[in-house]
Structure 1
Amino acid sequence: MSTTDTERVGHLKVLGLNDDEIKVYQHLLRTGPSSITELGEAVPDRERSIDATLGGLVQAGLARRSGSDHSRYLPVPPDAGLEAMTLRRESELKQARIEVLNAYDEFRRTVHNESTTHLIEVVTGSAIVERIHQIKSGVQREILAIDSPPYYIGGPNQEEIDQLRRGVSYRVVYSPESVEVPGYLTENILPCVEAGEQARVLPDVPAKLTIIDGAIAFVSMSARDTDVNRSLLIIRPSSLLSALIGMFELCWRNALPLHASVGAEDDRLEPIERRLLALLATGAADDTIARTLGISRRTFFRYLERLMNRTGASTRFQLALHAARENWL
């Protein structure tokens, strides 16, 4: 189905053509080569002269003179002209962005002159989810996160999987409470890890944190501080943001790796044992592990006892050390 005239008008405006140029160009596309007189009569309701309008189309690379006396105009293949117009519009948009940023900076210095208020933004209520999407959608390189319930958004994290596919890197430290949320491990964490997320687990996380490209962060309370999150802090470049990045890196260094499947294949381990070790590393409760594996508590303890006997471990901590040493984690 061909693009309608109305839709084409919108596209041509995006490229920077004015109303008169669009009308004349549309007429040329419908009728072919036309003289200045014919175009002037066919498009009478113009704000500019027909000569100026045609000059704009020629400059844009969308039309040219034709005929032995160069008295007629016709459309031309627009490839080169469109490329030049696109680059010009991109340059104009970049300049507009700079002007808006400068205008806001001037506002902050003169009208709203509290020097630190722009560094921290408090978002509450229904606006939280919208701001999170708005900030995360602008990511270019990397997202660092400390993950803990309660969550603003439920269900699978398709947004992260899409960003991983386009080259954005994710490093996430999960709290044990994250794994305890019903379905969160299998529906959210593991699909993201399989898509390329680097994940680790820390027994005690200091806050719930997301850092975008090292340039902006949002912080809220973790499950150990509150059952429901009703506010979100957005932190912009400052010593506070630097401290939050340092806090994340400290948590990352002290956390245990979490993989979608554990280590390399090892004929001493059954697949379910490798999965059980991965879940143990998350700090998940016994019931959660059994439910995720689809086995009973009794069967879970039987596997656990067999692993501990095989490794000579008398505690789960010793089992974890052995698994790490054998590269099972």
Structure 2
Amino acid sequence: MAEIVTIRGDLELLARTEHVFSSIREEFICAARDLNTWPNPGARQAARNRMPTSGTHQIRKLLSPAALADEDSRGHLSELVDHGAHVRIAATALPHETIIIDRRFAILAGVQAPGGREYTLTTAPTLVGTVHALYEAAWETATDLKAFLSGDQPHLNAESRTILRTLGSGATDETAARELGMSLRTYRRRVADLLDTLDAGSRFQAGMRAGELGLSG
């Protein structure tokens, strides 16, 4: 593979990196906003299937607080820790997904796009080393999963996240309720519940609090 390659789409990425995922020797590390590092469910499962199930390689995952907003995600991450993985939660939302394998191979994910997410794959030692150093700096300031969970971070389901986004969009309550398919009274009750969950005294404070926790994306 050339030192730097740009490709588009999850399936092409997997096709180009099959040999890398199946030959991890020392360390697999990733940084992600949430657990859906691979947007395509089939691609996510295929990546897991290609990773060695035995050996001495270390697994480290650095995630945004938003990754813990539902019970299934919390349970999955706790299970990973029980099986020997190291998981830490960053203080704020991480921008995009990054994977580094054995300090010799890095995958940098771009933003979602209609034609598929664009990925940059590199084996260039200087670039991989720089990405790894940035990862280590973020890792050092992050909080261990169990310690983070003991801080009783708020749970936000999909509906609460959607309501949070409507608050940040500036839409009127009437418009937001209509877009969400609920009555105005129900919408305002859900907003009040959300303020209580985030321990916020106003809608503005709710947005600030969600941003601090990485829950507003």
TM-score of the superposition, structure 2-length normalised?
0.58
Which residues in structure 2 correspond to 1:233-248 (within 5 Å)?
A: 233-248=120-135
Verify the 8 A CA contact 1:173 1:199 in the aligned structure 2. yes
Are 1:255 and 2:139 matched, yes or no? no
SS in 2 for 1:183: helix
Q: In structure 2, do the counterparts of structure 1 residues 247 and 123 end up closer, same or farther at CA, with 3 Å as the change threshold? A: same
One of 165, 170, 192 as aligned partner of 2:59: 170
Pair 276,248 (structure 1): closer, same or farther in 2 beyond 3 Å: closer
1:195 aligned to 2:83?
Answer: yes
Are the aligned partners of 1:201 and 1:255 in contact in 2 as well (CA < 8 Å)?
yes
Q: Where does structure 2 lack aligned partners over 5 or more consecutive residues?
A: 158-192, 200-208, 210-217
Question: Residue 14 of structure 2 aligns with which residue?
Answer: 129
Deviation at 1:191, TM superposition (A): 2.1
Whole-Å separation in 2 of the counterparts to 1:128 and 1:218: 9
Mapped partners of 2:85, 2:74: distance in 1: 13
Q: Which has the larger radius of gyration?
A: 1
Stretches of structure 1 that go unaligned for 5 or more consecutive residues are 1-103, 105-117, 263-274, 289-297, 306-315, 317-329
2:66, 2:93 within 8 Å by CA — same for their partners in 1? Answer: no
Corresponding residue SS for 1:286: coil
1:74-112 CA distance string (max 9 Å, x none): xxxxxxxxxxxxxxxxxxxxxxxxxxxxxx9xxxxxxxx
TM-score of the superposition, structure 1-length normalised? 0.40
Letter in 1 for 2:88: R
Deviation at 1:252, TM superposition (A): 0.5
Residue by residue over 1:158-202, the C-alpha shift from the partner in whole angstroms, topping out at 9 and shown as x without a partner, is 938974642210121111233347833323x22222111111011
1:127–1:161 distance in 2 versus 1, CA, 3 Å:
closer
Structure 1 contact 161–192 (Cα < 8 Å) conserved: no
Which structure has more RCO (C-alpha within 8 Å, separation ≥ 6)? 2
Distance 1:217 1:247, change over 3 A: same
2 CA distance for matches of 1:186 and 1:220?
26
Change (3 A) 1:179 1:129: farther
Count of aligned residue pairs for this structure pair: 158
Conserved? CA contact 1:146–1:248, under 8 Å:
yes
Aligned partner (choices 277, 283, 286) of residue 155 of structure 2: 286
User: What's 2:213 paired with?
Assistant: none
Q: Deviations over 1:36-94 (max 9, x none)?
A: xxxxxxxxxxxxxxxxxxxxxxxxxxxxxxxxxxxxxxxxxxxxxxxxxxxxxxxxxxx
Q: Could you say which residue in structure 2 is the equivalent of 1:151?
A: 37
Distance in 1, matches of 2:93 and 2:3, equals 28
Instruction: Quote the Cα distance in structure 1 between the aligned partners of 2:46 and 2:121.
Output: 21
Give the structure 1 partner of residue 202 of structure 2. none
The structure 1 residue matched to 2:150, chosen from 254, 261, 277, is 277
Alpha-carbon separation, structure 1, partners of 2:59 and 2:72 = 21
| Aligned alpha-carbon RMSD (Å) | 3.8
The answer on whether the counterparts of 1:144 and 1:210 sit within 8 Å (CA) in structure 2 is yes
- Give yes or no for contact 1:258–1:278 (8 Å, CA) kept in 2: no
Query: SS at the partner of 1:199?
Result: strand
Query: Within the alignment, does 1:217 sit opposite 2:106 as a pair?
Result: yes
Aligned in 2, Cα 1:250/1:160: closer, same or farther, shift over 3 Å? farther
Identity, % of aligned pairs? 16
